């Protein structure tokens, strides 16, 4: 009887932890998680770094590691189309927004899935940013017209629709399965 009680308690404890564990695991690496990579380039074709989209528990983890860009804060967004034609990268379309939300983490009707945190570039021209987007999928990102990562000239105000007043598009890369 005691073994059964301990077994039952262990089962209940495990069941309780499983629910909590699933919530705590959003954003953690998942075995077999696929990756997409975007090589970032300026309009002049110079290497500007690399971005990745990695499947994690409950969403996609986006990272960007940049180089050779002007110091300061820059808007960083995932765009809806996998094209980066110079000189202005307008072929990348608008932000990736499959849920039709408004722009920005500070917008009560946002954010959409293409909103990422501002990227701060140091005096050495390098910077890194990362964010897990809950509910985002690699299949959604790599749909028929693909997706891209965009670095903008100015900081994103994280509120103003459609792009946070982040200015010109200064570096872009098309996501490719990795």
Do 129 and 54 share a structural domain? yes
Question: What residue numbers bound the domain in which 5 lies?
Answer: 1-28
163 versus 148: which is more confidently predicted? Answer: 148
13 versus 124: which is more confidently predicted? Answer: 124
How many domains does the chain divide into?
2
Buried b (16+ CB within 10 A) or exposed e, 96-118: bbeeebbbbeebeebbbbbbbbb
Alpha-carbon span 146 to 19, nearest angstrom:
34
Do 56 and 8 share a structural domain? no
Query: What are the tens digits of pLDDT across the range 30-62?
Result: 666 899 999 999 999 999 999 999 999 999 999
Do 150 and 95 share a structural domain? yes
33 versus 22: which is more confidently predicted? Answer: 33
Do 147 and 59 share a structural domain? yes
Q: What is the mean pLDDT of residues 10-37?
A: 52
Do 78 and 141 share a structural domain? yes
Do 18 and 3 share a structural domain? yes
CATH code, domain with 99: 2.60.40.200
pLDDT number for residue 15? 33
Q: What is the mean pLDDT of residues 10-27?
A: 37
CA angle in degrees (0–180, nearest 5) for 23-177-51: 70
Do 102 and 43 share a structural domain? yes
Query: What are the tens digits of pLDDT across the range 61-115?
Result: 999 999 999 999 999 999 999 999 999 999 999 999 888 888 878 778 878 888 8
Do 81 and 9 share a structural domain? no
Do 69 and 7 share a structural domain? no
Do 140 and 121 share a structural domain? yes
Do 45 and 130 share a structural domain? yes
């Amino acid at each position: 009887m005691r073994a059964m009680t301990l077994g039952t308690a262990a089962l209940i404890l495990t069941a309780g932890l499983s629910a909590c564990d699933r919530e705590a695991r959003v954003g953690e690496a998942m075995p077999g998680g696929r990756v997409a990579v975007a090589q970032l380039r300026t309009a002049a074709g110079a290497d500007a770094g690399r971005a990745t989209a990695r499947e994690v528990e409950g969403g996609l983890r986006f990272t960007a590691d940049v180089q050779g860009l002007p110091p300061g804060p820059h808007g960083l967004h995932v765009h809806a189309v996998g094209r980066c034609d110079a000189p202005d990268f307008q072929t990348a379309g608008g932000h990736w927004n499959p849920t039709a939300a408004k722009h920005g983490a500070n917008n009560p009707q946002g954010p959409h899935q293409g909103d990422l945190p501002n990227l701060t570039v140091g005096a050495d021209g390098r910077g890194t940013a990362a964010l897990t987007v809950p509910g985002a999928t690699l299949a959604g990102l790599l749909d028929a017209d693909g997706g891209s990562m965009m670095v903008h000239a100015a900081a994103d105000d994280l509120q103003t629709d459609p792009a946070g007043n982040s200015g010109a598009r200064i570096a872009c890369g098309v996501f490719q399965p990795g």
